[in-house]
Chain A
Amino acid sequence: MVMAASETKFHVLAVDDTLIDRKLIEKLLKTSSYQVTAVDSGTKALEFLGLNNNDHHDVEVNLIITDYCMPGMTGYDLLRKIKESSSFKDIPVVIMSSDNIPSRINRCLEDGAEEFFLKPVQLSDVNKLRPHLMKRRTQTNVNKRKAMDEIVSPDRTRARYNELEVK
């Protein structure tokens, strides 16, 4: 099947050590017309990206969505590794967690996560991914601005930030 470049589906890499949640996130993403690769650890995610091969990669991943609590490499560890990589730091990363811990949420968002979803993740959460993906696709210049504030509401909305310009 031949597709025009603008019609190519976004490719999301989903990372979760629990089979049920992997199945769920995969379905949510496919329902939203994303192409999905699901792996069960941060290590496998990095392998898939090709991070361990001197940053050589054959696959294009447009967004990474990862569980926070995983044995070995946590979702936060994975986030840090992605953001520290010259090849992959611009891939948006979203974190999921079943625990509503404001300090955890803030730390992830401060360290580069685009969104933080509380589990169980809903279709309405997955709908929030599209702007992050569209922005990357049309963006030629990397010049991000994040708004920061302390308060995390008890429902699913992410923390908001104070003005912080990242150059």
Chain B
Amino acid sequence: MMQMFRIDSNAAHACRHHIVSSTALETLHSVHAASQQGGKQTDLKMLSGWPVNMWLWILLTFIMPLLTSAYSEKERAQELMDRFPLIDGHNDLPLKIRVYYNNRLSQIDLQKISKAATDIYRLRAGSVQTQMFAAYVPCGAQEKDAVMLTLEQIDLVRRMCNKAQDLELVTTYDDLTNSMMKQKIACLISIEGGHSIDSSLAVLRMFYELGVRSMSLTHNCNTPWAETSTDLYGVFQRENNSLTPFGKSVVEEMNRLGMIVDLSHSSWETASAALKHSRAPVIFSHSSSHSICDNKRNVPDWLLRELEQKNGLIMVNLYSKFISCGKDANISDVADHFDHIKKIIGAKSIGIGGDFDGADSFPQGLQDVSKYPALIQELLKRNWSEQDLADVLRRNFLRVFKEVENVRDNSKHLIPSEDQIPSEKVKNLCRLDRQNPILQRSISGAKFILPNLYLMSSLLLFSSIFMNK
């Protein structure tokens, strides 16, 4: 489809990132870099710490439903989720559709997608009522065509949620709550990584117009204005500059717009800075507890406390490597994260962000989006109250979403931000230097370029980059 441009035959591809292979899929979310692995708290430690009467209680709860047709945890979980169906913070089905189907929805039955962990049938089975779908593009596209690729992923989610009768795109608190009454699965759109906006607040605004309601400041790469927890790309490295002045402008503009600030993937320093700077509550859309599994993608207790102080939300990631810090995990390991976070900051700060289809291994019993009830069942077993679980399942997220909208509504006196990142921070071969005086000249027919001007402007661009190095 892409024909070579005549003068710069390499130019056509130099600034394009190709998302092609499914092996790329495994590396995309590979935050399980060996250097990140730490010890995990073992099951043994947990089991041996339980008192005897707890054991009796557990035995009874197992035996009772077998002996009688009494109300089991499983049924309780299901009944609870019928009343409070899940709002999940992060799902990468759009990425799978890109990698396997090149965004061709006509090749997919959204009811049953065998190559993914997510489809409508299993969302229903899992009592998922709202799913935040990530319009994710890889860090490799930064300084290339990240913006265009992000538009394509946003377009995909919009088409997907328009095509299926069961799905409905929502962009407001009211629409979200109404979608439950209409028995639809609500779609929210998130952006996963500030590289998608190419350091442009205008692009951020346009994404908001397109329905994006949440953005993680980084993915696995630094942006020119924020830091990642997992620097796989080694770009834009700075000393002690977790959130630059422009990064703060980004957070401010997100507050003004009513876009949720998502700190999953950000470094702890960036997260802490964003927490301080944001007027609205923030979330971690798919991160777990660093105390339980010391992967840098997880959140340490001190940062959890900062989050709770600002009425934020941590939506626990189910990816095995963030749960057990190993390849294998089980539901009990997952529940340990919930227990710990509840102990540190309480159930009102907790949600669920499964990260299905964005990672390659999930705990036994939680392989896909239909399995959430099993997790709720385990939490019920661990004496989580129904009120707490209702909060975790949806009410905490709704609270945050509403508050983000309130901050927006109280920001009407603010005008759209015209802050711009200093150009020297973003100079690259795939960005046209607007200071190039050749552009200013109007040759015959205004805005027209003489035949050799392409060559001349390329030369000037190259020379200006070399001069500035």
- Chain B associates with chain A: no
| B interface residue numbers (CB < 8 A to A) | none
Residues of A whose CB lies within 8 Å of any CB of B are: none
